[in-house]
Amino acid sequence: MRVREGQPGPVLRRLASTVDAVRTIASRARRAVRGWALADRFAARGDNVVFDPDGVYSFATIELGSNVDLGYRPTLIAARGRIRIGNNVMFGPEVTIRGGNHRTDQVGLPMIAVQKQPGDERYDLGVTIEDDVWIGTRAVVLHGVTIGRGAVVGASAVVTRSVPPYAIVAGNPARVIRLRWPVQTIRAHEVELYPPDQRLSAEELAALADLPGAADPSTVPSATKLLTTDAQDR
């Protein structure tokens, strides 16, 4: 609607403001009650989890770590696989995570009539989202994908294959744009955040060296050098 100057009058504006305030309070109360009722339906849930009670969830197949924000109206569905989300993860609005897929190979049946059979687990591989991941608005993550620690998924990306640690991906299908930092900086970041036995290994860090943003190859340490330096940190 259009609101013109002087219309509606001050009495109607005050009434509208009061009605809107009451409606807002009632909506917040409804969402809070629904959230309390649904929180324990997740398969696992850490501390400080924020989820929109008006989202869509297959609760029994979803495991959440601590300090997780699932954003506004997400869709997280896995019929037989598992959706596992680590610690310190945040979603933008309307993210979709699909932990399964539908068969399209049955001859003589419409796809909606196809039923999964024992042994069809390859169609329900689940999704794993590791620690410290940010998934942007309306991104879609499909089954069989692992999103590595520290990764960023761009808005509206469609993630069809696994994402390396600390990579920024975007597009449809999503591809690696670059690493968040050069490998040496990633290593320093790991030292600050994680105990020695939880850090990326020297081999895992060295595997990032060929990705955009990993720094000049001449400055990226070899796996042997990383192992030596990592041992000193421990």
For residue range 37-72, what is the model confidence (pLDDT) as tens digits?
999 999 999 999 999 999 999 999 999 999 999 999
Q: How many CB atoms lie within 10 A of CB 54?
A: 13
Write out pLDDT tens, residues 15-27. Answer: 878 887 888 888 8
Residue 216 Cα distances to 181, 221, 223, angstroms:
12, 10, 16
- What is the rounded average pLDDT of the residues 198-213? 94
pLDDT of res. 114? 86
Helix orientation angle between 223-233 and 183-193, rounded to the nearest 10 degrees: 20
Write out pLDDT tens, residues 79-101. Answer: 889 999 999 999 999 999 999 88
Compute the distance between CA of residue 183 and CA of residue 220 in angstroms, rounded to an integer.
7
Is the predicted pLDDT of residue 11 greater than 90, yes or no? no
In percent, the amount of the chain with pLDDT more than 90 equals 65
The three-class DSSP label of residue 27 is: helix
pLDDT of res. 123? 81
Residue 40 Cα distances to 36, 45, 52, 64, 66, angstroms:
8, 8, 14, 11, 14
- Choice between 190 and 106, residue whose per-residue pLDDT is larger: 190
Is the predicted pLDDT of residue 202 greater than 50, yes or no? yes
Q: Given pLDDT bands bounded at 50, 70 and 90, which one contains residue 224? A: very low
Is the predicted pLDDT of residue 107 greater than 60, yes or no? yes
Residue 155 Cα distances to 8, 33, 134, angstroms:
39, 30, 10
Q: Which one of 14, 73, 102, 178 is the catalytic residue?
A: 102
Query: Of the given ranges (49-53, 106-110, 136-140), which has the lowest mean pLDDT?
Result: 106-110
In whole angstroms, how large is the CA radius of gyration of the chain? 23
Q: Which helix (H) or strand (E) holds 202?
A: helix 202-206
Residue 221 Cα distances to 22, 178, 187, 189, 233, angstroms:
61, 18, 11, 16, 16
Query: Of the given ranges (31-40, 112-121, 221-230), which has the lowest mean pLDDT?
Result: 221-230
Q: In DSSP terms, which residues pair with 49 in a beta bridge? A: 68
pLDDT of res. 6? 61
pLDDT of res. 234? 45
- Is 102 marked active-site? yes
Q: Given pLDDT bands bounded at 50, 70 and 90, which one contains residue 3? A: low
